[in-house]
Amino acid sequence: MLQRQKGNWREEYVDSVWRKVWRIKAPAKILNLVWRSLAFCLPTVTMLQQKGVRVESICPVCKMEDETVDHAFLRCPIAMQCWRLILPEMQYRGQSLFHWWDQVIGKTDKAKQAEVAAVCWALWRARNEVVWNKRYTRVYVVIAQAKQYLDQWRHAQKSAACTSFPQLYEGDDSYCWVKPQESMIKISVDAATFQEFNASGIGMVARDDRGDVILARTMFLEGLRSVEMIEAMAVKEALSWIKNQRWQKVIVESDSLVVIQAVRSKVHMKSPFGEIILACRSMLREQNTVSVSFIRRSANMVAHELARAAYSFPDRIFDRSSVPIGVANILDKESY
């Protein structure tokens, strides 16, 4: 099909780009979207028109140009803003989507390619929100959705690795959660966003040196925030929880490297995120037996599940016997 549309392209060139796109490590749903966009199989309005469907050819999102795949993924203002943020090194000079992908693959590493593919998927999803629900998605939400979907997928891949390689259970570089040392407490925290309900959730679980749950907790927050923001709020809430409970010798674990590095650094960021980080640092100074640490996502399954449960169980405190069933299942798996 591509050859027919772009007859001057050499077959090997086209094939090699296809192969590289297929090699991107991303969920099938995302690769499928990228493939359809490159094979001109995506139902853009101009494509529908060509098939005889009576629709306006103008882009439903910006209403500035006809909606082709090149427009939807490269020239539509929302797409341009996404690429300016996540791909500042790439300049768009009117090339086709196919050629653009070829350059992306040539200039970026594997992780970035997956991110670009995920943003394409989120852009198309945002476009469909306008078409079907008349709802406009903001640029940062498009990027957040893309990263979140990709993260969840990577997380699931790592959990699969975790069950097939039990030797990875011990040690610092573990893919699975490790009990704290004697007489210490570990609090795992995580955040979740509920895009469709314009809300977020926080989950935290305190466990003792036998790995038993002391208490677990969910918090429900109205309004959408960036993932980093909620992750930072989760750490802050955990630190004030420790203070209120008068717990000593505690490690707060988060899988947000951005947040943990920000808390450990001395940089003052003048932003709402920076304010939360400052609050975390001052609580850590007050409580000198408390520290924060970074863990892999696959080692943070319980808190992850709790954060997601914040939607059904908003603002609740649980003990081991009352945790939601999904959380209990993961706790059982981790009690080795």
Give the whole-angstrom CA distance, residue 140 versus residue 78.
Answer: 10
User: Using alpha carbons only, how large is the chain's radius of gyration in Å?
Assistant: 23
**Interface of this chain with Zn ion, residues 193 to 232, rule: CB under 5 A:** none
Q: How many C-beta neighbours within 10 Å does residue 158 have?
A: 17
Residue (61 or 189) nearer to Zn ion, CB: 61
Paired with 58 in beta bridges are 66
Choose, by CB under 5 A, the member of 21, 76, 250, 307 that binds Zn ion.
Answer: 76
Look-up of token digits 């500042």: 88
Residues in the chain: 336
Interaction between residue 143 and Zn ion (CB under 5 A)? no
**C-alpha distances out from residue 264 to 162, 163, 279, 302, Å:** 28, 32, 12, 24
DSSP state of 243: H
- The 8 Å CB, 24+ separation contacts for 26-30 are 26/114, 26/117, 26/118, 26/150, 26/153, 27/149, 27/150, 27/153, 29/121, 30/114, 30/117, 30/118, 30/120, 30/121, 30/149, 30/150
Choose, by CB under 5 A, the member of 24, 34, 59, 233 that binds Zn ion.
Answer: 59
- Least distance from Zn ion to the Cβ atom of residue 61, Å: 4
- Least distance from Zn ion to the Cβ atom of residue 74, Å: 10
Part of the chain binding Zn ion (CB under 5 A), chosen from 56-64, 152-160, 198-206, 236-244: 56-64
Residue (61 or 280) nearer to Zn ion, CB: 61
User: Site size for Zn ion, by CB under 5 A?
Assistant: 4
Part of the chain binding Zn ion (CB under 5 A), chosen from 19-27, 71-79, 180-188, 327-335: 71-79
Part of the chain binding Zn ion (CB under 5 A), chosen from 58-66, 197-205, 240-248, 293-301: 58-66
Residue (76 or 299) nearer to Zn ion, CB: 76
Residue 188, helix vs strand vs coil = strand
Interaction between residue 62 and Zn ion (CB under 5 A)? yes
Q: How many C-beta neighbours within 10 Å does residue 88 have?
A: 8
* Contact assessment for residue 306 and residue 215, using Cβ atoms and an 8 Å cutoff: no
Give the whole-angstrom CA distance, residue 108 versus residue 131.
Answer: 32
Interaction between residue 24 and Zn ion (CB under 5 A)? no
Part of the chain binding Zn ion (CB under 5 A), chosen from 32-40, 74-82, 167-175, 238-246: 74-82
- Least distance from Zn ion to the Cβ atom of residue 84, Å: 15
Residue (76 or 118) nearer to Zn ion, CB: 76
- Least distance from Zn ion to the Cβ atom of residue 141, Å: 17
Residue (60 or 203) nearer to Zn ion, CB: 60
Residue (66 or 151) nearer to Zn ion, CB: 66
Interaction between residue 61 and Zn ion (CB under 5 A)? yes
Residues that bind Zn ion (CB under 5 A): 59, 61-62, 76
